[in-house]
């Protein structure tokens, strides 16, 4: 069994227990705990980057980034995004799915449970838009798409 964790940045991230054993832990944007890697979709996050964490960047963020040299040591590669409404959580989950896990525990994805779009990342970079309710609706739809296309994987959205 391969068990992975996707650590999103919503308030319920506090439900993550670092003593839980995972084969791989991937974060979203600016990680709030130790991860194997993180996924960054927006260049403004990379502009504020000060964390020594290995990461994947979206094609768009990497293309817009001016000082790539400072990231050479930690850059793992590119991730493609599906639409403008793809979240870092979706991109991180797709990256983990390449490893053929049997279980993915997803923490801090509050938009799965409520219309909450608060994020730990907002204290560094505020990427919120006026139409976050639309984002939540599309984000949920993207999660269902991922689950439908990977029926052999158990997806657990965790919030206590």
Beta bridge partners of 78: 57
Please report the pLDDT score of residue 139 as a whole number. 80
Please report the pLDDT score of residue 124 as a whole number. 52
Please report the pLDDT score of residue 120 as a whole number. 47
Please report the pLDDT score of residue 151 as a whole number. 97
Residue numbers of the chain with a pLDDT score lower than 50:
120, 122-123, 128
Per the CB < 8 A criterion, the answer to whether 105 and 8 are in contact is no
Please report the pLDDT score of residue 128 as a whole number. 47
* 42 Cβ neighbours under 8 A, 6+ residues apart: 29, 58, 61, 125, 127
User: Residue holding tokens 């590119």?
Assistant: 78
Please report the pLDDT score of residue 150 as a whole number. 97
Please report the pLDDT score of residue 47 as a whole number. 82
pTM (2 decimals)? 0.87
CATH architecture assignment, domain 3-158: 3-Layer(aba) Sandwich (3.40)
147 by Cβ neighbours in 10 Å (0-12 / 13-18 / 19+) ranks as middle
Please report the pLDDT score of residue 138 as a whole number. 81
Please report the pLDDT score of residue 149 as a whole number. 96
């Amino acid at each position: 069994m391969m068990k992975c964790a996707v650590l999103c940045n919503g308030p319920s991230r506090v439900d993550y227990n670092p003593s839980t054993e995972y084969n791989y832990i991937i974060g979203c944007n600016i990680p709030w705990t130790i991860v194997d890697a993180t996924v960054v979709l927006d260049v403004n996050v990379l502009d504020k980057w000060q964390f020594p964490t290995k990461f994947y960047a979206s094609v768009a963020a990497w293309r817009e980034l001016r000082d790539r040299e400072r990231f050479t040591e930690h850059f793992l590669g590119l991730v493609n995004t599906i639409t403008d409404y793809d979240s870092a959580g979706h991109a991180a989950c797709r990256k983990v799915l390449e490893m053929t896990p049997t279980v993915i525990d997803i923490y801090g994805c509050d938009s799965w449970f409520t219309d909450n779009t608060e994020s730990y990342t907002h204290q560094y970079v505020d990427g919120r838009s006026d139409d976050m309710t639309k984002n939540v609706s599309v984000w949920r739809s993207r999660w269902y798409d991922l689950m439908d296309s990977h029926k052999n994987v158990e997806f657990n959205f965790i919030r206590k």
